[in-house]
Structure 1
Amino acid sequence: MVTRAVLRRLAERRRRADRRYAARLLASTAVAAVAAVLFALLLVLVEGQWRPLRQIDVGAARRLHELAVHHPAWTDVLHVLSDRVWDPVTLRAAVAVLTLWLLRRGAWRLAAWAAVTAVAGGLIGLLVKVVVERARPALQDPVAQAPGYSFPSGHAMTGMTSFAVFVLVLLPLIPRAWRVACWCVAVLSVLGVGFTRVALGVHWFSDVLGGWLLGLAVAALTTWAFEAWRTEAGRGRVPVGEGLEPELAEAAPER
């Protein structure tokens, strides 16, 4: 027979789980809000050609361009990273493969989240580019060329959304001892994407910063939506650091 003490402990455990889950939902919303506000502020500064920001953009572009011009081997490495490894087409193809794999496992809601995050990021970034119409850096002896407008950086935004998808989907399948390393690889990759674009002279630093912020806002908003669905569907609580759907580590989830 279940005693009152046991029932109280169970109830308290549920309340703690609810509080942790609510905190995660609120955290996703807060991250999205902060990222969106910072992006809006950055956009105002870019459009208004705020002098301190302009000085940072020009200074970073000149210094990194000089380095690229005088070190061809270094520039070749940047091209490989930017145009092949971290290219938006490569990253979106990887997300598409991951989405198909999720569908095969029956995790169609998680697959929809991954697809929506990637597609929404691409479309929103393109829309903002068209609205802002910012020109790319015009440097003497350029080491790279890129079509289209400059703000925000599509590479930086795609890097942010794609690596968010990779980590939040695959984290349950990764041994705990390796999870910190995976987070480090994801963060360094996102930072590396932005660095290569500025170093190759095809984006201003503020373009990259804008791409990171807008990509973070998109990923946080779609994550919040997925978390809200889990709450409404009565799925188990997910501790922070366990990924979006820990059931992936078990048998294929129910459809």
Structure 2
Amino acid sequence: MPRPPAPSAPPPAHRRYGSPGPDARFGARLLITVAVTALVSVPFALALVLVESQWTPLLRLDRGTAGRLHAAALEHPGWVRVLDFLTHVVWDPVTMRLLVAALVVWLLVRRALRLALWAAVTATASGLLGLLVKALVARARPHLPDPVSQAPGFSFPSGHAMTATTSCAVLLLVLLPLVPRRWRPLPWALAAVSVVGVGYTRVALGVHWLSDVVAGWFLGLAVVTATTLAFEAWRVDVGRAPTTPVQGLEPEIRSEHPEPPVGTPERS
């Protein structure tokens, strides 16, 4: 006598009750990433439109700020040397990118592969996007009488300001979990001083308009927002708990091996 067919296994809960599966949840997180990034990009887009349309109040602000800072620079040659050292050595984009590159190598040694990839992608995307926007806008740099400094290429947005924003954000979000909680305001303050300071040096030396610097900050922030939210969606998708900027991107970096070997299930 033939055996009756074995009962089939019940469908997964998300199919029986209509709740979304893991792929749908991951897609929803990526959609949120795109929406938030678009929202954060609005200030940069507005700055771009105002620059391209040569909005008179913005041009007046740019020229007035450049003129005042240039006059102050001409009166204080020693201060110009300090600014030149800060902008071409301490906060130079090459210096910032080397710091991020060293961080990526350190993360690879610690087998924090996701975090290393995020840092590398963020720094690379920032550099390439900045160059692309510069070429598309092709804004001339300030032409001031008796210039105290020179810089090649186009002006909008400021590559120094954008690189400082993304690099400081990468360093903060990766290394913050290693800093004792009571000392965490210090790296935040150092990052803020670096980002604002490099913007000041570029305008004070007469190689950028104020709007170039502000646009660089905004565009750098948009890049970091996009890659960070994508990283967070990836992190949650593999079973890690959500984090906040105060915690850093991956608090598990404090352990000797922040990522388990391939094939080892991760805890939620």
1:192 partner letter: G
1:183 to 184, 188, 200: 188
Q: Indicate conservation of the 8 Å contact 2:173/2:245, yes or no.
A: no
Distance 1:191 1:232, change over 3 A: same
Distance 1:197 1:135, change over 3 A: same
Counterpart CA distance in 2 for 1:217 and 1:248 is 25
Aligned positions of 1:106-185 closer than 5 A: 106-185=111-190
**1:62 maps onto 2:67 in alignment:** yes
Counterpart CA distance in 2 for 1:200 and 1:79 is 8
Counterpart CA distance in 2 for 1:104 and 1:177 is 28
- Between the two proteins, the alignment pairs up a number of residues equal to 232
Higher radius of gyration, 1 or 2: 2
Counterpart CA distance in 2 for 1:72 and 1:96 is 34
The CA deviation string for residues 46-100 of structure 1, in whole angstroms up to 9 with x for no partner, is 0110000001100000000011111011111100110000000000011000000
SS at match of 1:144: coil
Q: CA deviation at 1:35?
A: 2.9
**1:198 maps onto 2:239 in alignment:** no
Question: Normalized per residue, which structure has more helix?
Answer: 1
Counterpart CA distance in 2 for 1:204 and 1:121 is 20
Counterpart CA distance in 2 for 1:27 and 1:186 is 27
**1:80 maps onto 2:85 in alignment:** yes
Instruction: Select the structure with the greater relative contact order (CA < 8 A; seq sep ≥ 6).
Output: 1
2:158 partner letter: S
TM-score (norm 1): 0.87
**Structure 2, unpaired ranges of 5+:** 1-28, 262-268
Q: Indicate conservation of the 8 Å contact 2:133/2:157, yes or no.
A: yes
The CA deviation string for residues 164-200 of structure 1, in whole angstroms up to 9 with x for no partner, is 0010000000010111111111111101111100000
Partner of 1:7: none
Distance 1:196 1:226, change over 3 A: same
**Structure 1, unpaired ranges of 5+:** 1-23
Partner of 1:211: 216
TM-score (norm 2): 0.83
Partner of 1:225: 230
The CA deviation string for residues 214-236 of structure 1, in whole angstroms up to 9 with x for no partner, is 00000000000100001110113
Distance 1:28 1:77, change over 3 A: farther
After superposing the two structures, state which structure 1 stretch, 175-184 or 32-41, moved more. 32-41
SS at match of 1:122: helix
Counterpart CA distance in 2 for 1:63 and 1:186 is 26
Give the percent of matched residue pairs that are identical in Structure 1 and Structure 2. Answer: 61
**1:234 maps onto 2:239 in alignment:** yes
Distance 1:138 1:128, change over 3 A: same
2:55 partner letter: W
